[in-house]
Amino acid sequence: MEPTTTVREQILDHAITLIMLRGYNGFSYRDLSSLVGVKTSSIHYYFPSKDDLVLEAVNEYSKEVLNGLNAIGASLPADAKLSKYAKLFGRTLGDGNQICLCGMLAADIESLPDNIRQAVQAFFKANENWLAKVLAQGAQEHTLAVNGKPENAARALFAAFQGSVLASRLFHTKARLEDVEASVRIAR
Amino acid sequence: MEPTTTVREQILDHAITLIMLRGYNGFSYRDLSSLVGVKTSSIHYYFPSKDDLVLEAVNEYSKEVLNGLNAIGASLPADAKLSKYAKLFGRTLGDGNQICLCGMLAADIESLPDNIRQAVQAFFKANENWLAKVLAQGAQEHTLAVNGKPENAARALFAAFQGSVLASRLFHTKARLEDVEASVRIAR
DNA sequence: GTCTATAAACGGATAGAC
DNA sequence: GTCTATCCGTTTATAGAC
């Protein structure tokens, strides 16, 4: 009883993976065509333009990640929440390297229309707001090191997560993500 | 008495800007052709393949940034060094937004050959090593907040700088870079 | 919905004249 | 060194048959 995945869902799912792997300018309808097994013209049937496809990819990806955030128990201690966040961040690709779709599109942002920019901005803000609350909690519990206002520290921390997944892939190691978590966690 | 810039230098300079703006897959020999005012075949004369061009762009960019690092006085207090670093990091593009060429290529790394990957890795390591020394100094001087070993904190900090220039451009603001500096600076 | 066929522009790259 | 001319594959996208 496998859940039936529609062609549309398959296209979107492969598009998400390809964007995370090679970015907006690094994949084509032809790539998707060979992955899904339909002709490029069929892909245009579901997603008339590449920008339509990418916008839906951002929305789908955002929904998944934000659902993951909501699934992190609100009653947990702050440092435990942060650990779960670090694991959830991005999506593990084939070889174990992680990358965030919205971090990738932030790099490609000068090639993208404004509606996609807004969607990526919304993803950034949602993550930063969530992290700000965790940092505020962690400061109170004396488990996380917060310098300055939680809002500012959260933006810096989110940037560090984004940068660390780039470095993780560049060096073929997951250790970079752990460095970020360790940089705010207070040793006991 | 303007310093004469050769065609080769102009090509390389525009290539650096274009890579920072749109990434490896987001610019073409045609773009360079119209910017420099020579035909694409002339560009191939200087840089036989696109990968040759990008490798030289990385080397030139690295040289400039590393020269900038060396120009930061060794006798300065750590927090002053960090301020200078934040200003030097990346390169200011047309509208005031900053971006780092090697951060951009780290995003595109899956489209690039191994010799370019190694050059980008070298840039990351050089920056991380420099930051590790500054953090160690700052910990001693009690001006910078360092959690854990300086080497690990430096990798997290460099990642934060990389992520923050992406966010700065995404949101059209320089404030994100300042958040990173503030996140390690101890208020007095 | 999916296909074939095709358009029209763009991609990196090369040969050879000047 | 720089040009013209050209190769040939790729890219996004559309029209129309089934």
Which bases of chain C are contacted by protein, using any atom under 7 A from a CB? Answer: 1-5, 10-16
Banded pLDDT at B97 (limits 50, 70, 90): confident
Banded pLDDT at A2 (limits 50, 70, 90): low
Sign of the alpha-carbon torsion through B140, A164, B172, B96:
positive
Q: In chain A, which residue's Cα lies nearest the Cα of B180? A: A156
Taking 80 as the threshold, does the pLDDT of residue B91 lie above it? no
Q: Is residue A168 part of a domain?
A: yes
Mutate to test the interface with A, among B19, B170, B177, B185 (most CBs of A within 10 A): B170
Looking at residue B83, its pLDDT comes to: 95
Looking at residue B188, its pLDDT comes to: 66
Q: Is residue A78 part of a domain?
A: yes
Closest nucleotide to B8's CA, by C1' atom?
D1
Q: Is residue A26 part of a domain?
A: no
Q: Which residues in range 28-67 of chain B are in contact with strand C, contact meaning CB within 7 A of any of its atoms?
A: 28-31, 40-41, 44, 48-51
Contact (Cβ atoms closer than 8 angstroms) between residue B58 and residue B112: no
Taking 90 as the threshold, does the pLDDT of residue A109 lie above it? yes
Taking 70 as the threshold, does the pLDDT of residue A107 lie above it? yes
Q: Is residue A69 part of a domain?
A: yes
Q: Is residue B47 part of a domain?
A: yes
A&B contacts, CB < 8 Å:
171
Closest nucleotide to A48's CA, by C1' atom?
D13
Per the prediction, chain B carries an average pLDDT of 95
The widest CA-to-CA distance across chain A, in whole angstroms, is 59
Q: Is residue A4 part of a domain?
A: no
The pLDDT of A57-76, averaged and rounded, is: 97
Looking at residue A95, its pLDDT comes to: 74
B22/A170 Cβ within 8 A: no
Is any atom of nucleic acid chain D found less than 7 Å from the CB of residue B30? no
Looking at residue A91, its pLDDT comes to: 73
> According to DSSP H, which parts of A71-174 are helical?
78-88, 101-107, 114-141, 150-171
Contact (Cβ atoms closer than 8 angstroms) between residue A41 and residue A62: no
Domains identified in chain B, total number: 1
For residues A144 and A101, what is the distance between their CA atoms, to the nearest angstrom?
A: 27
Looking at residue B92, its pLDDT comes to: 78
Please state whether B98 falls in left (phi above 0), alpha (psi between -120 and 50) or beta.
Answer: beta
Banded pLDDT at A88 (limits 50, 70, 90): confident
The token pair at A12 is 């979107």
The percent of residues above 90 in pLDDT, for chain A, comes to: 89
Which bases of chain D are contacted by protein, using any atom under 7 A from a CB? Answer: 1-5, 10-16
The pLDDT of A104-126, averaged and rounded, is: 98
Closest among A101, A91, A100 to A55, alpha carbons compared? A101
B180/A159 Cβ within 8 A: yes
CATH of the domain at A66: 1.10.357.10
Banded pLDDT at A1 (limits 50, 70, 90): low
Q: How many CB atoms lie within 10 A of CB A20?
A: 26
Tens-place pLDDT, residues A176-188: 999 999 999 997 6
Q: Is residue B1 part of a domain?
A: no
Tens-place pLDDT, residues B7-45: 999 999 999 999 999 999 999 999 999 999 999 999 999
Half-sphere exposure of residue B20, counting CA atoms within 13 Å on the CB side?
25
Q: Is residue A171 part of a domain?
A: yes
Taking 70 as the threshold, does the pLDDT of residue A90 lie above it? no
Q: How far is CA B143 from CA B134, B138, B139, B163, B185, in A?
A: 11, 5, 6, 23, 6
For B147, the 3-state DSSP assignment is: coil
Taking 80 as the threshold, does the pLDDT of residue B115 lie above it? yes
| Domain encompassing residue A114 | 52-184
